[in-house]
Amino acid sequence: MWKFLLLNLVLALTATALDTINISETQGSYGFAVDYQNNQFLLDGQPFRYVSGSFHYFRTPRHYWRDRLRKLRAAGLNAVSTYVEWSLHQPQPDTWMWSGEADLMHFLNLAQEEGLMVLLRPGPYICAERDLGGLPYWLLNRVPDIRFRTNDQRYMGYVTVYLNEVLKKIKPLLRGQGGPIIMVQVENEYGSYSACDIQYMVSLQQLFSHHVGTDALLYTTDGALVKMLQCGVVTGAYATVDFGVYSNVTKAFEIMRIFQPRGPLVNSEFYPGWLTHWGEPFQTVGKRAVKTKLYEMLSVGASVNIYMFYGGTNFGFTSGANGGETFSPQLTSYDYDAPLTEAGDPTPKYFAIRDVIAKYLPMPNLTIPTISPKGDYGPILMESIINLFDPLARTLFGTNQITTTTLPTFESLDLPYGLVLYEAYLPQGGPDSSILHAIATDRALVYVDSHLVSTLSRTQKTSTIPLEQPYGSRIQLLLENQGHLNYGSGMEDFKGLWNVTVNGSPIPQWNVTGFRLNTVKPLRNLESTRSNHGTLNNGPVFLKGEFTIEGKPLDTFLDTTGWGKGVAYINGHNLGRYWPLAGPQMTLYVPAPYLRRGQNELILLELEFVPRTKKMTFVTVPKLGNNTET
């Protein structure tokens, strides 16, 4: 261990001597570098320090990118940090997406127009509380025994293709070329990953360096612990740390100094809030603590990136899950208790941070943001359209049914997300009451003879249930992928049913149908049907409601209180999962660009429970749990 530490020290010192910048040489031309002698950054040859904010373009509609960037700038921030999400840009091995909501270049250009430098974090792994930490799900079906985040050549083959594509694209926007990107992160908190494959980091650094050269600074970010930096740092990338309000600033930077003896101090992720999982209280961080720690860091000359300054939303099925002892899927909201709310509104924390920054950086002459008006569109009556298990719904939404002896995973069905229905006949002639054993990743509703009997849950560790349905003949298991793991070891997170037995015996044959649920267009021509409220014993139901907006649409929140668990779509946009039974998130953020003047359409796929009123309401204030602002 000590030998290893010494080696790192020697490497870092060598880098110091080689990289020393002649200030007068770079003055007047574009560039970004480290001035090791004076422990500072140099932007275009001038001493520079950043206070940056994290804002992920993939968590807010493109329409709002400029608005949010301007609000960052108005708080005095001079840089924005974003991850690049591999799975968004390469949804299939032969498909690339770089336009519309995936127009990274547009986002970077807007940042520059709004007076912000950029800290770019292209991964390939990003965590970010996103599905599979930003890695595309298809890696799991192309290479089922893949070893993520290692020098596994099959993984590295795909990584190389992706990084070549993204790094070639962003090259003209690097600072050395006159663009806004000053720093490019290699991997992401790699020191927290158990593999600790140094050769992997060396290969990545070479790939990044090949494209970035000296046009921007490569860097790494790790938790402020020696054992993390040992696995996370790599020669040729500037080593930085990340920590929140509960850490000792002096101590954290002392640890950074072991690996980065000279150069500016950097906290690459300072947490002004925190993430929340379904079923736990909404996580908050007090504004006073944020103010005190930010002040402390800026007073010792550090550069800081605030993670998140603006969190946004995990629209659709993009949220991930944490693992370890308990499987914990992330909320749809990524409000994060950040200085700007999910709807982009300033909070008292925003102004507290602005006050601190104003002591250290010149403030821009920009209008102070205010809370935007919200639409109060009231209650909408939701009418049932069709049951998901109805033959017509299967035709419209399902993959072709397959009959098989082995249970396929989502990945082997090439389903990135959604639901899979597994159906079989129960063995006959057994006892009246049977025991079902099945391990579900992640959650399965269990029906016997079209009657909901129980739920299998990875989170609750429920894998054995009695089937108290005498003479039951047919079993249906509707499995939900609640988001692939985004963090920790064992991220090769296949979604499926494992080791299924009834009274200890396997079931010989299954019918399997997948539901991708990426679109609700097929409902367009269906009429509403009469149906009951209460527990949905016979399977999930699509419901539709219509409402009219007069005048310009405004942001609003869909209040799901009283309903069970499901997915909501507005005018075809998937707002994400809702789950008021678990909480703490009760409302889904509805951005104005998803609405239109005149008639609008809300569609739900409700899995479990329809309240008696059959109404969902649009409200002006979000309900995310206990927000105890201090």
Ligand X SMILES: *[C@@H]1O[C@H](CO)[C@@H](O)[C@H](O)[C@H]1NC(C)=O
Q: Contact positions toward ligand X, by CB under 6 A? A: 22, 24-25, 248, 250-251, 254, 281-282, 365, 403, 423-425, 439, 474, 498-499, 511, 583-584, 625-626
For residue 529, give Cα distances in angstroms to 35, 78, 387, 544: 70, 55, 10, 10
Catalytic (active site) residue 325: no
CB of 585 to ligand X, least distance (A): 9
Collect all residues with Cβ–Cβ distance below 8 Å to 513 and sequence separation of at least 6: 394, 398, 399, 400, 401, 402, 420, 421, 423
Element (H, E) at 193: none
CB of 365 to ligand X, least distance (A): 4
Choosing from 85, 114, 187, 269, the catalytic residue is: 269
Residue whose C-alpha is closest to residue 316's, from 13, 605, 10? 605
Three-state secondary-structure class, residue 153: helix
Element (H, E) at 526: none
Q: How many helices (H) and strands (E) does the chain have?
A: 13, 34
Rounded Cα gap, residues 16 and 130, in angstroms: 36
Element (H, E) at 108: helix 104-113
Closer CB to ligand X, residue 61 or residue 364? 364
8-state DSSP, 101 = G
As given in the structure block, the two tokens for residue 508 are 């010989």
Q: Name the β-bridge partners of 465.
A: 436
Three-state secondary-structure class, residue 617: strand
Residue whose C-alpha is closest to residue 574's, from 562, 552, 586, 591? 591
CB of 627 to ligand X, least distance (A): 9
Three-state secondary-structure class, residue 440: strand
CB of 40 to ligand X, least distance (A): 17
Buried b (16+ CB within 10 A) or exposed e, 106-125: bbbebbbebbbbbbbbbbbb
Closer CB to ligand X, residue 113 or residue 254? 254
Collect all residues with Cβ–Cβ distance below 8 Å to 348 and sequence separation of at least 6: 287, 629
Q: What is the DSSP string of 158-191?
A: HHHHHHHHHHHHHGGGBGGGTSSEEEEE-SSSGG
CB of 581 to ligand X, least distance (A): 12
CB of 104 to ligand X, least distance (A): 30
Rounded Cα gap, residues 584 and 381, in angstroms: 24
Collect all residues with Cβ–Cβ distance below 8 Å to 626 and sequence separation of at least 6: 281, 282, 284, 584
User: Mutual orientation of helices 153-170 and 104-113 as an angle, nearest 10°?
Assistant: 40
Element (H, E) at 26: helix 23-26
Q: Tell me, letter by letter, the H, E, C secondary structure of 74-131.
A: HCCCCEEEEECCHHHHCCECCECCCCHHHCHHHHHHHHHHCCCEEEEECCCCCCCCEH
- Cα-flanking dihedrals φ and ψ of residue 168, to 5°? -65, -40
Q: Which amino acid is at 604?
A: L
Q: β-pairing, 534-535 with 217-223?
A: unpaired
Q: Tell me, letter by letter, the H, E, C secondary structure of 343-368.
A: CCCECHHHHHHHHHHHCCCCCCCCCC
Closer CB to ligand X, residue 229 or residue 234? 229
Choosing from 85, 114, 189, 342, the catalytic residue is: 189
Closer CB to ligand X, residue 263 or residue 625? 625
CB of 597 to ligand X, least distance (A): 31
CB of 430 to ligand X, least distance (A): 16
CB of 89 to ligand X, least distance (A): 32
Collect all residues with Cβ–Cβ distance below 8 Å to 372 and sequence separation of at least 6: 343, 344, 345, 554, 555
- Tell the residue number behind the tokens 């001079």, with chain if given: 78
Closer CB to ligand X, residue 255 or residue 343? 255
Closer CB to ligand X, residue 154 or residue 474? 474
CB of 285 to ligand X, least distance (A): 15
Buried b (16+ CB within 10 A) or exposed e, 26-35: beeeebbbbb
Closer CB to ligand X, residue 10 or residue 18? 18
CB of 166 to ligand X, least distance (A): 35
Closer CB to ligand X, residue 157 or residue 324? 324
Closer CB to ligand X, residue 362 or residue 551? 362
Closer CB to ligand X, residue 203 or residue 330? 330
Catalytic (active site) residue 546: no
- Which residues are catalytic, by number? 189, 269
